[in-house]
Amino acid sequence: IQTSPFFQCGPTAEADSLAILHLRRDLLIPAVLRSQDDLNEGYDEGKVTNTRFGSFPHSTLIGTPWGSQVRASAVDTGSRGRKGWEGKGKKGQKRKRDGQGQEEIGAEKKAKTEDLNREENNRSAEIAEQDTGVGPKAAVEAASGFVHLLPPTPEIWTASLPHRTQVVYTPDYSYILHRLRARPGTVLIEAGAGSGSFTHAAARAVYSGTPSAEKVGSESTGLPSKGHGKVYSFEFHEQRAQKLKEELSEHGLDGLVELTYRDVCQDGFLPSSTPPSSITANAIFLDLPAPWLALKHLTRSHPSSPLDSTTSIHLCTFSPCIEQVQRTINTLRQLGWLEIEMVEIAAKRIEVRRERVGLQEEGLRGVNDSPASVDEALTRLREVEGRSKVFHEESALDEKGEEITGSPATGEAQVSKQQRLENIKNALEGRKLYKEGRLLHKPEPELKTHTSYLVFAILPREWAEEDEITAQQQWPAKV
Ligand code: SAM
């Protein structure tokens, strides 16, 4: 298995690897970082990701520690194409090349580059437009801010992936994988793959790349370690299968996930690899419109059964309608599945925060939220102070820190401001801010996950002749 940023992300973001730009809790943009951009020859800022918070040349992201706050850079994404940037990032100073390369670009090549640029700009503009609701160019130019640079995880990927279908969200797949007993070494079958949200979570669950993971697989369960886990994924929509294949490859998950373009209801679950490998799966997840049609391929007696004959098999189907559930359960019963159970996950996010408390008595004008710490209170105060800088430049504060509107800021006023900060710090130091304000719980009004009914079932391990002999020896029949 090649390295994947989902498992080995290292301390910094790497070129040609997936990174997530975190704009807000609910706004994340995935980007494979490229140090070269064919669309932007002559400059070496690499590709540029445009967001409502500004433009982020990949050169400012590559080599940057995960979790860093990265400031937007000035990049012209206007109709003439990007011109390179004179950003303030740590590598910004050496961005612009000597321009010689530019002159060498022939007319034909230039025209092609411009075409591609236009296409790229439209895409960038789409992102910007979607987010801001203002015109594309204005959005890119007006916005400037920062993002946080995050390494990918299945959860973050689910929150940021390009949707080609409905997807399984984290609250559902975490429960499903737990019930399927997916662990390092598990061989898991999944159909249909759709947008690959579940696929990524399943890949992480079965990954047994580290020695400690292998240990968990064998020692804690008492079962023999199955070696490397694997996800066999199936999708019958050609474009979706192709796109997901590309993504899995970009994410370094090629060896861990084998995606097959296949109608599983019709053709079953043997993957397309040649020579056909025989799968010995012990977990199955079906996110299909008619899972009951696929179940006939998941019996132990099937000539090309993909099931591990030495373990019990755990299955989950994911269906939005109760009628689908009924048909699935009928078929499961007929085929000898046991412990059939239906579950619905109703995940609701609950915001927990403290009620606003007045801190005016301490001189914290404009800082009403209950801060978590003295540092936070001071940071907020500085923000408030910063916002009113313009106003303060036209006014001054008297000795008590009161504003005298209309007169220019004096050195004395600056001292007074410093003093005021000191006073506030002293006043806050003795207070237990974590105790202040009533704790509020606010559930979000709607369920945001795509909820479905989850049907779980177990196919017991096959009773073999050796089992019968062992049983006879251990518990001889009393005559
Ligand atoms: N679980 C996916 C995820 O988390 O991103 C979403 C799956 S999507 C709701 C269902 C997928 O099943 C679709 O992409 C569809 O093309 C595929 N599908 C439907 N019937 C299928 C079949 N018989 N064989 C293979 N794939 C099928």
Closest to 29 in 3D by CA, of 8, 47, 49: 49
Token pair 């779980």 is at which residue? 456
CB 203 within 8 A of CB 183: no
The residue whose CA has the least distance to atom 19 of ligand 1 is 288
What token pair was written down for 454? 């989850």
Q: How far is the CA of 292 from the centre of ligand 1 (A)?
A: 14
Cα torsion for 352, 358, 359, 360, to the nearest 10°? 160
Note the ipTM here: 0.99
295 lines ligand 1 (CB under 6 A): no
pLDDT of the residue at 313: 97
Q: Please, which contacts does 324-332 make with residues 24 or more away whose CB atoms are closer than 8 Å? A: 324/289, 324/290, 324/291, 324/292, 324/453, 325/453, 325/455, 327/290, 327/292, 328/291, 328/292, 328/295, 328/455, 329/455, 330/292, 331/292, 331/295, 331/296, 332/292, 332/295, 332/455, 332/457
In the DSSP assignment, the letter for residue 281 is B
Q: How far is the CA of 259 from the centre of ligand 1 (A)?
A: 12
One DSSP character per residue, 290-333 reads: -GGGTGGGSSTTSTT--B-TTS-EEEEEEESSHHHHHHHHHHHH
Q: What is the pLDDT along the chain (479 residues), one digit of tens a residue?
A: 568 999 988 999 999 999 999 998 889 999 999 987 655 555 556 789 998 888 999 999 999 999 999 999 887 554 433 333 333 333 433 333 333 333 333 444 444 444 444 344 434 444 443 333 333 443 444 446 899 999 999 999 999 999 999 999 999 999 999 999 999 999 999 999 999 999 999 999 999 875 443 434 344 443 334 567 999 999 999 999 999 999 999 999 998 999 999 999 999 998 766 555 678 999 999 999 999 999 999 999 888 889 998 899 999 999 999 999 999 999 999 999 999 999 999 888 888 887 765 554 444 444 444 455 556 666 766 666 665 554 444 444 444 545 444 444 455 555 676 777 777 777 666 666 666 677 888 887 776 655 799 999 999 988 888 888 999 989 887 76
Q: How far apart are CA 316 and CA 269, in angstroms?
A: 16
CA 19 to chain centre: 10
> Is the peptide bond preceding residue 184 cis, with omega within 30 degrees of 0?
no
Q: How far is the CA of 167 from the centre of ligand 1 (A)?
A: 9
Closest to 42 in 3D by CA, of 113, 123, 107, 92: 113
- Quote the pTM value: 0.70
In the DSSP assignment, the letter for residue 264 is H
What token pair was written down for 173? 């797949």
247 lines ligand 1 (CB under 6 A): no
* Cβ partners under 8 Å of residue 459, min gap 6: 298, 300, 307, 312, 313, 315, 335, 336, 337, 338
Q: Where are the domains of the chain?
A: 18-150, 154-348+451-474, 357-441
Q: How far apart are CA 256 and CA 185, in angstroms?
A: 11
CB 383 within 8 A of CB 367: no
Token pair 């940071």 is at which residue? 379
Phi-psi category of 260—alpha, beta or left, where left has phi over 0 and alpha has psi -120 to 50? Answer: beta
Alpha helices in 23-81 (DSSP H): none
Q: How far apart are CA 413 and CA 229, in angstroms?
A: 67
173 lines ligand 1 (CB under 6 A): no
Number of continuous H segments (helices) and E segments (strands) in the chain: 14, 17
pLDDT of the residue at 296: 96
* Cβ partners under 8 Å of residue 441, min gap 6: 350, 351, 352
Q: How far is the CA of 237 from the centre of ligand 1 (A)?
A: 8
Closest to 187 in 3D by CA, of 223, 220, 224, 230: 230
264 lines ligand 1 (CB under 6 A): yes
Q: How far is the CA of 313 from the centre of ligand 1 (A)?
A: 21
Q: How far apart are CA 296 and CA 268, in angstroms?
A: 8
| Distance (Å) of CA 469 to CA 308, 309, 311, 463, 477 | 21, 18, 18, 11, 12
201: amino acid identity, one letter: A
237 lines ligand 1 (CB under 6 A): yes
Q: For a substitution probing ligand 1, which of 264, 269, 287 has the most ligand atoms within 8 Å of its CB?
A: 287
Q: How far is the CA of 181 from the centre of ligand 1 (A)?
A: 22
Q: How far is the CA of 242 from the centre of ligand 1 (A)?
A: 13
Helix (H) or strand (E) holding 219: helix 211-219
CB 81 within 8 A of CB 121: yes
pLDDT of the residue at 224: 37
| Closest atom of ligand 1 to CA, residue 264 | 24
| Closest atom of ligand 1 to CA, residue 285 | 1
Token pair 């974590």 is at which residue? 434
Strand partners, 235: 261
Q: How far apart are CA 181 and CA 249, in angstroms?
A: 26
Distance between first and last Cα of the chain: 57
| Closest atom of ligand 1 to CA, residue 192 | 12
For residues 427-461, one letter each, b for 16 or more C-beta atoms within 10 angstroms of the residue's C-beta and e for the rest, the string is: bbeeeebeeebeeeeeeeeeeebebbbbbbbbbee
pLDDT of the residue at 432: 64
The CATH classification number of 154-348+451-474 equals 3.40.50.150
CB 141 within 8 A of CB 72: no
319 lines ligand 1 (CB under 6 A): no
The residue whose CA has the least distance to atom 24 of ligand 1 is 263
166 lines ligand 1 (CB under 6 A): yes
